[in-house]
Amino acid sequence: MSPPELPDFPWDSLAGQKARASEHPGGLADLSVGTPVDPVPAPIREALASVAELPGYPATHGTPELRDTAAAALLRRHGVSVRPEAVLPTIGSKELVAWLPRLLGLGPGDLVVIPELAYPTYEVGALLAGAGIRRADGLTALGPERPALLWLNSPANPTGRVLGVEHLRKVVEWARERGTVVVSDECYLDLGWEAEPVSLLHPEVHGGDLAGLLAVHSLSKSANLAGYRAGFVTGDPALVATLLGVRKHAGMIVPRPVQQAMTAALAADDLVARQRERYAARRAVLRPALERAGFRIDHSDAGLYLWATREEPALATVDWLADRGILVAPGTFYGPAGARHVRIALTATDERIQAAAARL
């Protein structure tokens, strides 16, 4: 038995452009990866340290306090009502995305649908399970097919596109007719700009029935916890119970100090608002600078990225920006439909964002 054949890790292919951009006299402005650069807020760090002396194994299901706090935060921030027992902490969101098809028992003969432009790990997760993959944004493109799992991502990475209530409702209705599980990656739900993101789990979308629906959340973007690997999944209690059972056997457990830090972050709406203001300020500097330099910004209504084009092949734009000391990601990382776009991240310090804008 051979391991699944996975694509090359896309970021490794930018080594040449990164080296060229780093030679700029003003230094590298790395806008390629959506990794936080601002410090973890002090209350979260204090919560992390507060349980550092506990020696025992943590609970795979998380502490009751964490689950209660997560459910309360979803209701308060997004109008989503879930039972605390249907909240399951994960080791960041990427781990769950990569292993979810396998954890749900998918394999050869099953079909996973991902967006036309998609976070690469959706594809990797299907490959790890041995399942088939289809890229599709419209339901009509799927015809009579009955996918086992359908991924949504709103606000989307890389485009910043936001799916409205009507769109989400149609997807849910379509999926229920076919027995398809719908999973929404909602890592950027707190970061709406021109549009207000709506969760798949909002009652206006599902009409009071969470069956067959899951939402994946991450604290990497809203609370700067990328280094903590802090996320959770919630939704259909039966699906969450299935995931919990498998994860117990597999030892997929969020460390106890991280659980405590997550609890503090989910209770602190003011910290999320402060981080949101930082990203809004950086966006207000970078977007007009790109437009003055001849870029067109498409979608980008929410999230941490600007989806930009100069109407040329993506790698030509990456090279053009690298010559100016700016590193970005080509749209081809996210699917063939990104061939003429680049993804430009807001996750750089104020000083680096200002430097990039000046060079443009």
* Whole-number pLDDT of residue 307: 98
* Whole-number pLDDT of residue 2: 65
Write the DSSP assignment of 262-290 as a string of letters.
HHHHHH-HHHHHHHHHHHHHHHHHHHHHH
* Whole-number pLDDT of residue 3: 65
pLDDT in tens, 261-298: 999 999 999 999 999 999 999 999 999 999 999 999 99
The residue ranges of DSSP E strands in the chain, in sequence order, are: 29-30, 87-91, 111-114, 132-135, 149-153, 181-185, 213-218, 230-235, 296-298, 305-309, 326-327, 329-330, 342-345
Q: How far is CA 207 from the centre of its chain?
A: 25
CATH number of the domain at 10-39+270-359, please?
3.90.1150.10
Q: Domain map of the chain by residue range?
A: 10-39+270-359, 48-267
Taking residue 91's Cβ as centre, other Cβ atoms within 10 Å add up to 18
Q: Is 229 helix (H, G, I), strand (E, B) or coil?
A: coil
- CATH class as words, domain 48-267: alpha beta
Residue 47 is inside which H or E element, if any? helix 42-50
Could you tell me which residues come within 8 angstroms of residue 209 by beta carbon, excluding any fewer than 6 positions away?
none
Which of the residues in the chain have pLDDT under 50? none
* Whole-number pLDDT of residue 243: 98
What's the mean pLDDT when you consider all of the chain? 95
pLDDT in tens, 24-62: 999 999 999 889 999 999 999 999 999 999 999 999 999
- Give dist(CA 304, CA 104) in Å, integer: 30
* Whole-number pLDDT of residue 343: 98
